[in-house]
Amino acid sequence: MVVKNRVYGGALIQFLLWVLRIGFFLFAHGVIIWLIYSIFIFITGGPTRHMDFPVMFSFADEGSLKTLNDDSAAKFYMRGATGAIMSDEVPRGFLAIYSFIALLIKVLFLLSLRLTIRILDSVRIGKFFIVENAIRLRYIGLLGIVFFILDRLGTVISASYFSDRLEFSGMVFTSFNLFSWVTLNSLFISLFLLVIAEAFRIGAQLKAENDLTI
């Protein structure tokens, strides 16, 4: 007799699995195309069209502030911001370093996506509270931290390269800007995931013990 695995979670889990699998498929193919394109540019030395490089800048200008009584002078300034520059001519060395970091970030994202799909797969067959899922969650958290570090490293490298080569009126380009660099949201989410993973591991152990209590 063939015993089929019961499907838990129903439509929502199936839908999420569908979306994530399609997302994974599309993103993986995008990465492959991007990699081939990058290698082609690197070998031929052609222009890097449609390639964004992050830059850090601050902006300051004077203007007027309309209040209820009178217009008064005001100064607007941006303490730190991150933007992107599309440059066709970048040296090969810089392109290789930046592309390698960008590739690592994309691979980390794919790995996180794959782990999420595997977690949902286990939910589908009714095995949610298992130690394997706790380990997967922990890996996603750790990948998120590495992702954060690599992303910031790439930004600093790119900003350092472009800081003394860019000229736009009213704007000052910097190689490192603490205000735009320290956006810790993604890091906090990763740390939170690590806490959840630990709680999950303990929960899975308790469940395993409870399952073997007669």
Partner 1 sequence: MPIVVNLDVMLAKRKMSLTELSEKVGITISNLSILKKGKAKAIRFSTLQAICEVLECQPGDILEYIQEQE
Q: Which residues bind partner 1 (CB under 8 A)?
A: 209, 212-214
Measured from the CB atom, the residue of 33 and 206 that comes closer to partner 1 is 206
Query: Is 2 strand, coil or helix?
Result: coil
Cβ atoms of 44 and 72 closer than 8 Å: no
Instruction: Considering the complex, state which of residue 129 and residue 147 has its C-beta at the smaller distance from partner 1.
Output: 129
Complex with partner 1: residue 47 or 126, whichever CB lies closer: 126
How open is the CA angle 38-41-44, to the nearest 5 degrees? 145
CB 199 to partner 1: min, Å: 21
Least distance in angstroms from the C-beta of 205 to partner 1: 11
Q: How far apart are CA 162 and CA 173, in angstroms?
A: 8
Residue with tokens 């009126």: 169
Which residues 6+ apart lie within 8 Å of 63 measured at CB? 73, 74, 75, 76
Residue 212 CB, shortest distance to partner 1, in Å, is: 4
Nearer to partner 1, 167 or 211 (CB): 211
Place of tokens 């890996």: 139
Least distance between partner 1 and beta carbon 207 (Å): 11
